[in-house]
Amino acid sequence: MADRERRKKFIIAISAIVSIPLLFILMVFYIITAPFRWVSNLFSSDDTSQFEELRTDMGFPSWELEGGVVEGFYCPFPGIEWAVTSGFGLRIDPITFEEAFHSGVDISWYNAYGVPIGAVADGVVTYAGYCASRGNWVVIFHGDMGGYTEDGIREHRNVVSVYMHNSSNLVETGDEIEAGDTIGLLGSTGRSTGAHLHLEIRTGGFDGLTASGQASGVAQDPLLFIGLPGARDVDEDEDGEEAAGDEDD
């Protein structure tokens, strides 16, 4: 019994002698290399100057805007035949497997991870950050959007767009955004089962978030604003008849 105890103490002592210097070496290495990692991040692939090249590589020849259904709205992924992997409204939650209201649409396609996300309309970034459920997410306030009603009232008041689960955000609170500007890269951060963009359009909201941290306003079906893949604005010809926009524009 005494020999067994001595062997056990010997093994513990040897383990301590080996592990403590090793941990010390790793800690010193991490501290010494920290400045190099910081400098490397400054010139990483997230640099906005490299996005045009990335867009071309991903199949966007010119990143031309594709007009949506509502005036002033555009497709976030022009030139891509994206798919709606989960629609707006009641659905079976993919994580809890219980029926729940889905306040936006999930957009994805094969090999979508890392693709630049274009803003759906002009506006101002009112939030850009991270949370456990939404991952990296961005909120853009657009103000009043769309045409006027017969009573001279704007169709959509205080419109907000929301972009969730980004692999990274590339805008900051207060940034002024034009439609099509890159606001982040598509990813799978937060409460997500795969790479996709969760896009929300909210109306009647305010310039910011609610007390619970949600984007303000009433959730609407985003497809009623941006349309389906490849959708274009509908123009009127000289005779006043509606004609689809030129696909080559």
Write down the pLDDT at residue 9. 67
Tens digits of residue pLDDT in 51-107:
555 555 554 444 577 888 888 999 898 878 888 888 887 776 666 667 777 778 999
For residue 249, is pLDDT > 70? no
Tens digits of residue pLDDT in 207-244:
666 655 667 788 899 998 998 875 444 333 334 333 33
Distance separating alpha carbons of residues 243 and 186, to the nearest angstrom: 33
Mean pLDDT, range 17-30, rounded to an integer = 73
Tens digits of residue pLDDT in 150-203:
777 778 888 999 999 999 999 999 999 999 999 999 999 988 888 999 999 999
Write down the pLDDT at residue 106. 92
**Dihedral angle over CA of 211, 216, 222, 226, nearest 10:** -130
Write down the pLDDT at residue 58. 52
Instruction: Give the domain ranges of the chain.
Output: 1-43, 57-230
| Whole-number average pLDDT of the chain | 75
Q: Which fold has domain 57-230?
A: Glucose Permease (Domain IIA) (2.70.70)
Write down the pLDDT at residue 38. 47
Tens digits of residue pLDDT in 109-147:
888 888 899 999 999 999 999 998 889 999 999 988 887
Write down the pLDDT at residue 71. 86
